[in-house]
Structure 1
Amino acid sequence: RSCGDNGKKSTTKKKTKKKKQQTYPPYVLERTDVFCRGGNLHVTIRVIDRPEESDDEAQAKDDTMQCESAAAPTSHSDERTAALTEFLSKLSDAVRRDAFRNVASSVLQERMRAVLPSLNAVAFVADGSILPRRSGASSLPMSSPPAIPFEAPGGSPMKKTLEVDMGKLARYLPDAVNGSSSKVSITGLVIPEGVTLIAGGGYHGKSTLLRTIAAGVYDKLPGDGRERCVTDRNALTVRAEDGRYVSNCNVSAFISNLPAPPGSIAALDTSQFSTREASGSTSQASNTSEAIEMGASAMLVDEDVSAANFMARDGRMRALVMDESITPFLYRVNGIYNSLGISSVVVVGGVGDWLDVPQHVIKLDRYVATDATKKAESISRQFSHGHVQYAGRGVVHRLQWDGDRTPLQRRPTSESLEWFRDSDVSLLEGGGRAALRGDGFHRDGDEEEEEEEEEDDDLGVIDMSRCEQLLGKAQQLYGCALCVAWLLEEARARSPTLGTRGLLNKLDEALDENGMEELLLSSAGEDASDVNDESLSSLESFRTEGLLESLGFAYRPRRCEVAMALMRTRGIRFENIPEVDDGTEAAKEREAERKKAQLAALWANRRKGRNQQ
C-alpha cells in the first residue's frame, strides 16, 4: 500500500510476471561454486537481495517515505535467514535422496570409459539407450515410444559386453543395470579405433548417433537416456566454420598451391596460414590441423556440417580440375590414423568413395543399426575407386601422412600477450560468443598498429557458436573465456616459452588442485590455495559481478574447448615454437645423399659393363 497526494491510503495491484523455469544441461560438470579441498566438499550459496521495482512502485515508495517520515527503518535479515534455512533443509533432503544415485551413475561412466583402451575402442553405446532428444533445442530424451531404444547389431564383432566392478555403489544403480553382485555387465556397440563410417539414408538416425558419441565425453545424469554411452575424453568434433579467425596454422596437408592474392606476386604459404575470415574448406582444414596439434584421440565428422570440397572429390572432378588446391580429408583419413594414431568417425550418406577407406561401417536403417562392413568392402572392390594413383603420391583415398605436414606446436606472440594483459571477461548478445578486453587494447602504438587494429572490429571476440561439444551452454562458454584469460596471463607472466599444449597442462594442474575458483580469484592477485571462506564469499574477489548476476556460476570446460577458444580469439597471433635440432634431419639428408651416390655408382658400373661388351 502507498500514500497518495491527499494522504489517504490507496491499494495498488502489483503485476507479477510468471518466470520460465530455467533448465540446466544433464551433464556432470565441475562448477565455480562447488569444489573439494582437503577432503571437504564446499558448496557456496550467495543471496543477492536486489528487489526489482517499477517506476510506479518507486514513486509510491517515495510518497510513503514522505508521508511516514517518523517510521523506523525495517530489516529483512530475519526473513532472509528463515528463507535460506528453509531452502537448505529442502536441499538436504534432496541430497540425501539423490546423491548416491547420481554419484554411482557418474562413477559407472568413468569406469566404463576406463575400459575403452583395453577394447581398442574410442566409444561405447549401450543397448537400451534413448538417443534422440525431444527437439533440436532440448537436452531431454524423447519419450519411448515413439523413440526406439538403441540396439547393437547382433553377430557383429562390434557388439561387446563391458564388465565393471562398482563395489558398494552397485546398490544405487537402476535395476536394469545392476545385478545381484557388485559387478555390472553392460552390452552395446563398441566404436573401434581406426576409421569408422556411419552410413544410411536421410533422417534415419546417423547424426543422432554421432551426437551421442560426441556427448559421451561427459558424464550424464540418471534419466538422460544416454547415461551408459561413453567416449574417450579427447574425442573432438570437427566441422566447417566459415568466417572463423585463424592465425599461423599449418594446413598444408589439406590446402596447398593457393593462388597469389590480388596485388601480390607471392603465393600464400599454407604451412603458416592466417585469415580473418576462413572459407568453409579452409576453416575445416584449420580445425582438423588444430585437433591434431591438441592431441585429439578421435575426430567426429558429420558431412551435413562439413565443406563438400574438403570432404571428398570424385574421379570425374579430378579429371576436370587437375590443379586442385585441396587434398580432401577422404584421402588423408587413413594416413592420419596409421601415422598419428588419431581415429575418425565419419557420418556419410551421399559420397560412395568413402567406402574405400573404413575398417568398420555402421548402417542405420529406420533407426536400427546393422554392421555393413563386409558389404561396403564388396562394393569398394566392385567399383575399384581405391586403385587409382593420385598425382604419383600413392593410391588415392589412402595417401600416406607426410611428417613435414604435421602441425607444429604454437604459442601466442609476446605482442599478443601484452594486448590481452589482465583481460576482463564478458558474454556477448546472441549466444555462443564471449569477449576478452585487455589493458593492452588501449595502448599508444604507432599508426600502422592502430590502423591494423581498427580493421578488426571484433578484436578479443571468441566465437564458439559452432563448437558442438560445448554442451554446458552459457556457463561453460564463460568458463572457456576465463580459462583463456588465465592461459594468456600465465604465458605473459610466468611461462612465455611454453606452447599451447604445455599451457593447457599448466591449466589442468591448477584446476585439479584449486578448482574453478582459481580462475575467478587470479585476477584479484590472490592465490587460490591461500583463500579462506571469508574471501570466497566476497563479491569483490571475483573477476566480474556479472557472472553472479547473470549466470550465477560457470562450468569447467574440457581442455579441447579451451584450446579451441584460445585459437578463435580474434587478435591473438601465434608463432611456431622453434624445433630443437638433434641431428636427425641432418642424418636423414646424409643418408639420402649416400643412397643417391650409391645408385649413381651402380648405374655407372652397368653402363661401363655394357660398353666393354
Structure 2
Amino acid sequence: MRDLDDLEQILRSIDGRGYGGFRRLSGGYRIGRCELFIDHVQADPYAPPSLVRVSLPAGRTGVPADLVEDRRGRVAVCDFLTRRLSRLIRDAGSRHDRRDGFVEIGRVGQEVLERTTVVITDDSVEARLAVGLPADGRRVRGRRAFTLLGEEIPELASAGLSLVDTDLDRLREHVTLYRDQLSLRDRLPGLGLVALVGDGSILPRRSGDSDLPMAGGGVPRPVEFCSPASLRVTVDLPSGRTVTGMGVPEGVTVIVGGGYHGKSTLLRAIERGVHPHIAGDGREWVLTCADAVSVRAEDGRAVTGVDISPFIADLPSGVDTRRFSTTSASGSTSQAAGLVEAVDAGASALLIDEDTSATNFMIRDERMRRLIPADQEPITPFVDRVRPLKRERGVSTVLVAGGSGAFFDVADHVIAMEAYRPRDVTAQALEIAGRTDGMAPVADSDDGPVLVPSSPRVPDPRCLRPDRRGRGARTRGRDRIQLGDQEIDLSAVGELVDSAQTTALARALDRLGERLDGTVDLAEAVSELDALIETEGLDVLASSNGRPRGNHPGVMARPRIAEIHAAVNRYRGLRLVRPAGGEAHPGAGRPE
C-alpha cells in the first residue's frame, strides 16, 4: 500500500493538468492511523463524485464490543457514527467553496436504517464517502486535492469514528433505544397488536414538507399523545424500561374525527412506525409491525398480471381481471392492484386514508346500491371485503374515515381524534351502525373464500436486464428510478423515507434481473434477495453476478420486501411469462 508521500507526489505531478489525471489516484494509501482507499475517480468535474473509503482499526475507535455483538447493535452503532460524521462534514463544508472540493456521506433523516455509509468489521470501522475533487474548470488543483485527501478527510474520519467518554454515553443510549424499539416491535403480534403509539409521543410535524417534530414553545404548542384507558398497553423492555401507550389491535380499526384534528397525522405516524426513530423525534415509541403497508389510489400507474377479481370483476368489456394488466390504471383499479400486491408481498396490515383513496373502491352507499343493482356494478367495495381479508388472509386494516360512517358496520375498534387526543368511541360507533337504516352491525360471512392467494407471477427474464448501453436501474431522487426508457414512480410508497433506500432498490432491480430465468416466481426471487441481504449485508447489492463491482457500494439504505415488490410492480416494462391459456404481455384497460 502506498503512503502519504506517494499521494503528494502524484498530485504534484498532475497539478494544472487535465481532469483525467486524477485517475492515477486509484488505490490505497496509509495515512497515519488511517487507510484511505480511492475506489472510483469521477470522469470530469460535472460527473457524479468520486468514491472514497477511510478505515480505522477497530481498537482505536473506542466502540465497546458489547454494542456490536449482534446485528441490531451494529446497525445502531453505524447509524450513530454516520450521524456524527455527517455533522462534522457539514460543518467543514460550510467553510469551503464547492470548487475547493467537497465531501458527502448522504442524508440522514429521523429514522434509524441499516446503511452502507459506515461499516464495522472485527478489525476495522470504515466510512464510505463521496468526494468531489477540486478543479479549476477541467484542470486539476493538485495542491488543494492533497489537502483534501491527505489531511482533511483523514482528520474528519478520525474525529467522526473515534469516540470519547461523553460520546460513549450517548452511543450506549442510542443502541439501547434501538434494541428496545425493535424488541417492542417484535412483541406486537404476540400482544395481538398492529401498532403501539406511546404515551407522550409528539406526532405533529413542523410542516407538511418537514419530518421534524413540532417545536415546543411556539404556537400552536405540540400536543403529547395520551392513550385512552380502554386501549392502553404496558410493555416491559430488555433495558428495564417500561413503555405505555395505545395499542392498535389486529382486525379492523377505524380512525375518525373532525378536519385538522389529527386523524391523518396519527395514521402517518403509524405508517412511519415500521422504522425506529431517533431520540427526540417524538415518535420514538410509535412502533408498527414490520410488514405493514400503506395503500392508496395511484391514477395512471401500470399494473401487470394482478388478480383484482375479488374487487373488480365481470367488466362490460369482457377483460379478465384475474390477471389484469393496464398501462394506465384508474383510481379504483390502481388501489385494488396495490392492495392485492401488498397482501401477496406478505403484508399483515394495511394502512389506508380515505383522503388518498378512490371513493368507489372504498364504499357504495345504500342509495347507490338501490339505484344501480349489484349485477350491473363490477366493483365490490373494500368495505365488503375488509372482514374476509382478515378472516381468510390474516390481514388487518387501519383506516382513516372522515366523511363516511360506512366502515362502522365492519369495524372492530373506532378511535376518534379530538385536537390530537384519541378517544375510544367503538361503542357509540357500533350503536350508530345498528340504527342506520335499521341495519345491524355486519357479521363475518359464512360464504366460501373470496380472497384466495394469487397465482404465481413469473417475470420474463429479459424485462429487468440493462438497456442497450449496458446501464442498469438508476435513481432519480427519493421517488424515481429510471430503468431503460421507463421511469418508476414511487411517490405513493409511504414507507419509503430516504433516497438511499431508493438507490438500494435500483440495485435490487439489477440483482433481480440477474436472478430471473423465466421459471422463478417474483415473490420467491424477492424473498431470496432479502435473505441474501440479511446474511451478507447491503453490500451484496453492489455485486454483479456474485462478483463485487468495486469496494465502495455507494450510499444505500435497506428497503423492505414490500418496497422491492412496489418498485417491480410499478415498472411499466414488466412482462410476465405466458401462463397456460393466458397472455404473455400486458393488455390495456381502464375499468371505470
TM-score, normalisation: structure 1: 0.72
- Corresponding residue for residue 11 of structure 2: none
Give the C-alpha shift of residue 43 in structure 1: 2.4
How is 1:241-320 mapped onto 2 (pairs within 5 angstroms)? 241-260=298-317, 267-320=318-371
- Corresponding residue for residue 547 of structure 2: 527
Deviations 1:15-71 (A, max 9, x none): 95899x98531111112233455x46642333635225469xx7xx99xxxxxxxxx
- Corresponding residue for residue 354 of structure 1: 407
Separation in 2 of the partners of 1:527 and 1:88? 28
How is 1:164-243 mapped onto 2 (pairs within 5 angstroms)? 164-166=237-239, 183-243=240-300
The answer to whether the 8 A contact 2:464-2:509 is kept is no
Q: Which amino acid aligns with 1:475?
A: A
Deviations 1:514-569 (A, max 9, x none): 212111122xx5535xx9xxx525xxxx6xxxxx5xxxx12111110001101111
The answer to whether the 8 A contact 1:331-1:399 is kept is no
Separation in 2 of the partners of 1:344 and 1:306? 14
Decide whether aligned partners of structure 1 residues 502 and 204 sit closer, same or farther in structure 2, where only a CA change above 3 A counts: same
Residue 327 (str. 1) matches residue 377 (str. 2)? no
Deviations 1:82-128 (A, max 9, x none): 21232123212475353222111110101111111221111000000
The structure 2 residue matched to 1:536, chosen from 551, 563, 567, is 551
Residue 501 (str. 1) matches residue 523 (str. 2)? yes
The answer to whether the 8 A contact 1:29-1:556 is kept is yes
Residue 33 (str. 1) matches residue 117 (str. 2)? yes
The answer to whether the 8 A contact 1:151-1:188 is kept is yes
Deviations 1:134-175 (A, max 9, x none): 111111111235110000012x1x211011122xxxxxxxxx
The structure 1 residue matched to 2:151, chosen from 82, 88, 100, is 82
Of 83-92 and 219-228, deviating more is 83-92
Separation in 1 of the partners of 2:148 and 2:253? 60
Decide whether aligned partners of structure 1 residues 296 and 76 sit closer, same or farther in structure 2, where only a CA change above 3 A counts: closer
The structure 2 residue matched to 1:366, chosen from 406, 413, 419, is 419
Decide whether aligned partners of structure 1 residues 408 and 420 sit closer, same or farther in structure 2, where only a CA change above 3 A counts: farther
Residue 483 (str. 1) matches residue 505 (str. 2)? no
The structure with more radius of gyration: 1
Separation in 1 of the partners of 2:96 and 2:148? 22
- SS of aligned partner of 2:473: strand
Residue 107 (str. 1) matches residue 176 (str. 2)? no
Deviations 1:423-475 (A, max 9, x none): 5121237x5111123xxxxxxxxxxxxxxxxxxxxx43211011111011x22
Separation in 2 of the partners of 1:352 and 1:498? 44
Decide whether aligned partners of structure 1 residues 189 and 578 sit closer, same or farther in structure 2, where only a CA change above 3 A counts: farther
The answer to whether the 8 A contact 1:426-1:436 is kept is yes
Decide whether aligned partners of structure 1 residues 387 and 228 sit closer, same or farther in structure 2, where only a CA change above 3 A counts: closer
Identity of aligned residues (%): 35
Instruction: Identify, as 1 or 2, the structure richer in helix.
Output: 1
Decide whether aligned partners of structure 1 residues 365 and 49 sit closer, same or farther in structure 2, where only a CA change above 3 A counts: closer
Give the C-alpha shift of residue 416 in structure 1: 2.8
The structure 1 residue matched to 2:128, chosen from 32, 39, 45, is 45
Q: Which amino acid aligns with 2:494?
A: E
The answer to whether the 8 A contact 1:247-1:274 is kept is yes
Give the C-alpha shift of residue 408 in structure 1: 2.0
Separation in 2 of the partners of 1:575 and 1:400? 33
Separation in 1 of the partners of 2:509 and 2:236? 39
Q: Which amino acid aligns with 1:460?
A: Q
Separation in 1 of the partners of 2:252 and 2:144? 66
Separation in 2 of the partners of 1:327 and 1:397? 16
- Corresponding residue for residue 340 of structure 1: 393
The answer to whether the 8 A contact 2:310-2:450 is kept is no
Residue 376 (str. 1) matches residue 460 (str. 2)? no
Q: Which amino acid aligns with 1:555?
A: A
Residue 131 (str. 1) matches residue 153 (str. 2)? no
- SS of aligned partner of 1:108: helix
Task: Give 5+ residue unaligned stretches, structure 1.
Answer: 1-13, 63-72, 167-182, 261-266, 389-394, 438-458, 543-547, 580-613
Separation in 2 of the partners of 1:274 and 1:426? 25
Separation in 2 of the partners of 1:569 and 1:465? 13
Separation in 1 of the partners of 2:578 and 2:449? 18
Separation in 1 of the partners of 2:473 and 2:542? 10
Decide whether aligned partners of structure 1 residues 560 and 75 sit closer, same or farther in structure 2, where only a CA change above 3 A counts: closer
Task: Give 5+ residue unaligned stretches, structure 2.
Answer: 1-94, 582-592
Of 376-385 and 206-215, deviating more is 376-385
- Corresponding residue for residue 150 of structure 1: 225
- SS of aligned partner of 2:388: helix
Separation in 2 of the partners of 1:366 and 1:557? 34
CA RMSD of aligned residues (A): 3.1
- Corresponding residue for residue 11 of structure 1: none
The answer to whether the 8 A contact 1:302-1:347 is kept is yes
- Corresponding residue for residue 170 of structure 1: none
The answer to whether the 8 A contact 1:409-1:577 is kept is no
Separation in 1 of the partners of 2:429 and 2:124? 53
Give the C-alpha shift of residue 508 in structure 1: 1.5
The structure 2 residue matched to 1:410, chosen from 457, 477, 501, is 457
Decide whether aligned partners of structure 1 residues 147 and 382 sit closer, same or farther in structure 2, where only a CA change above 3 A counts: same
Decide whether aligned partners of structure 1 residues 75 and 190 sit closer, same or farther in structure 2, where only a CA change above 3 A counts: closer
The answer to whether the 8 A contact 1:293-1:409 is kept is no
Deviations 1:212-241 (A, max 9, x none): 111111111111110111111000001101
- Corresponding residue for residue 177 of structure 1: none
Separation in 1 of the partners of 2:366 and 2:446? 15
The answer to whether the 8 A contact 1:331-1:398 is kept is no
- Corresponding residue for residue 567 of structure 2: 565
Separation in 2 of the partners of 1:556 and 1:211? 20
Separation in 2 of the partners of 1:471 and 1:405? 32
Decide whether aligned partners of structure 1 residues 76 and 15 sit closer, same or farther in structure 2, where only a CA change above 3 A counts: closer
Give the C-alpha shift of residue 307 in structure 1: 0.4
Q: Which amino acid aligns with 1:238?
A: V
Decide whether aligned partners of structure 1 residues 203 and 74 sit closer, same or farther in structure 2, where only a CA change above 3 A counts: closer
- Corresponding residue for residue 432 of structure 1: 479
Decide whether aligned partners of structure 1 residues 15 and 100 sit closer, same or farther in structure 2, where only a CA change above 3 A counts: closer
Separation in 2 of the partners of 1:236 and 1:52? 46
Decide whether aligned partners of structure 1 residues 304 and 47 sit closer, same or farther in structure 2, where only a CA change above 3 A counts: closer
The answer to whether the 8 A contact 2:526-2:561 is kept is yes
TM-score, normalisation: structure 2: 0.74
Q: Which amino acid aligns with 2:389?
A: I
- SS of aligned partner of 2:305: strand
How is 1:588-599 mapped onto 2 (pairs within 5 angstroms)? none
The answer to whether the 8 A contact 1:252-1:271 is kept is yes
Separation in 2 of the partners of 1:324 and 1:574? 29
Separation in 2 of the partners of 1:485 and 1:415? 11
